[in-house]
A and B are shown apart, each in its own frame.
Chain A
Amino acid sequence: MAKKKKGYKKKKDNLTIHFMPYSEISKEDTIGRIKKIMGLVLDNKIIILQGRLKPEEEVKLIENSMTLIGNISGFQGIEIAGISDENEHRNLFNKIRYNIARILVGEQDSITIIGPASVVKDITRDPRKIELMLKKK
């Protein structure tokens, strides 16, 4: 018997924005972080994450989303964009201080927005602002 595809909560009327402080993912490994994020995305929530994922985590998130498209009905993937305080205008001493702080406490001065593509039409970054465009119902 064909396996019934898992339902994706597409017809939810309310738009939920979930603020995720960095502390919520700081102790998780890559798999834990992706599981947490995908769980919320599949629940049709838009996540505002304090901090950034590592490049290898972002690529895993994309890979994971691609695996789910076609296996979870209605799921079309994700929209993701990050913005952080630019490092380029600091002097050398401040750059070093800033980078040490980032290593110690993570990139907490960044914001990452992640949402399901069925809800979020587009996220544009240009370059110091992020615009989130939602799909019309």
Chain B
Amino acid sequence: MIKIIRNFAQRLFSGFFRKKGEIKLGFYGSPNAGKTSLANRICQDWLGEDLGVVSNVPHETRKIQIKEKVIIEKNGKKIGFKLIDTPGIATKIDFEDFMKFGLSKKEAQIRAKEATQGIIESIKWLDDVNAVIILIDSTLNPYSQVNITIIGNLVARNIPILIVANKIDLKKSDVKKVQGAFPEYNVIGVSAKSGENIEEFYEELFKLVKKKR
């Protein structure tokens, strides 16, 4: 009961003070879904600089990366964002998987340890975001429990979400499958790498944050 009252008070006051402030926009999803790539695309478009390093090796982002004061302009309106790029959430980590990418055993073990800590950190941040972009690799099966669990937790916290089916530049991409997996949510296909459909993404992003302002 105390927790409920505390959460209500937090929401009330954070909502009150956030009115004119930045929207804390979280990027969530499985490893290698393209969270950092999309965050980089946004930062490049509006700040002319990257947010983080991108790589083919899973769990490249192992710490929360933040970029503040990202002002996005669309149709004459400006909204300030604090971008929060989170480490990919997974249910398992095997250091031997990293060795397949050429890492030494020691390097792989260190990466695995950091990745587990990163996942815990990502989960903790679920309580501290105002809106979330869920990145899904549209070339893979979208019915992953990680996606379902993240969405379930955000819905329970009443945090608006936009599902981004990334990698539409690839042949195997199937945005309709992602839409079919999450029919209750807004799904937009983009390529964070090539920038395809990025204007439509900004359009949807503005609609999303309107719900929170």
Contact A126 B91 (CB under 8 A): no
Contact B92 A77 (CB under 8 A): yes
Query: B47 on the interface (CB 8 Å rule)?
Result: no
Contact B120 A124 (CB under 8 A): no
Contact B123 A63 (CB under 8 A): yes
Contact B93 A77 (CB under 8 A): yes
Given contacts A70-B113, A127-B181, contact A55 B92 (CB under 8 A): no
Q: Give the nearest-CB partner of A116 in chain B.
A: B92
Residues in A with CB closer than 8 Å to B155 are 55
Q: How far is the CB of A125 from chain B (nearest CB, A)?
A: 4
Q: How far is the CB of A43 from chain B (nearest CB, A)?
A: 17
Contact A66 B149 (CB under 8 A): no
Q: How far is the CB of B13 from chain A (nearest CB, A)?
A: 23
The B interface, classified by DSSP as helix, strand, loop or mixed, is: helix
Chain A interface, number of residues (Cβ within 8 angstroms): 26
Chain A residues 63 to 121 lying within 8 A of chain B, measured CB to CB, are: 63, 65-67, 69-70, 76-82, 88, 117
Residues in A with CB closer than 8 Å to B180 are 127
Query: A59 on the interface (CB 8 Å rule)?
Result: yes
The A interface, classified by DSSP as helix, strand, loop or mixed, is: mixed
Contact A77 B145 (CB under 8 A): no
Contact A58 B92 (CB under 8 A): no
Residue from the list B93, B112, B141, B149 in contact with A59, Cβ < 8 A = B149
Number of A-B contacts (CB under 8 A): 76
Query: A56 on the interface (CB 8 Å rule)?
Result: yes
Bound: A59/B90 CA distance, A: 10
Given contacts A63-B120, A67-B120, A82-B148, contact A117 B141 (CB under 8 A): no
Residues in B with CB closer than 8 Å to A63 are 119-120, 123
Bound: A54/B180 CA distance, A: 22
Residue from the list A62, A66, A69, A124 in contact with B141, Cβ < 8 A = A124
Contact A78 B116 (CB under 8 A): no
Contact B153 A80 (CB under 8 A): no
- B residues with a Cβ closer than 8 A to A are 89-94, 112-113, 116-117, 119-120, 123, 126, 141, 143-146, 148-150, 152-153, 155-156, 180-181, 183
* 18 other A-B residue contacts (CB within 8 Å) besides A66-B119, A76-B94, A88-B183: A54-B152, A55-B153, A56-B156, A58-B145, A59-B150, A62-B119, A62-B123, A69-B112, A69-B116, A77-B90, A77-B94, A78-B91, A78-B92, A79-B91, A82-B145, A123-B145, A124-B141, A127-B143
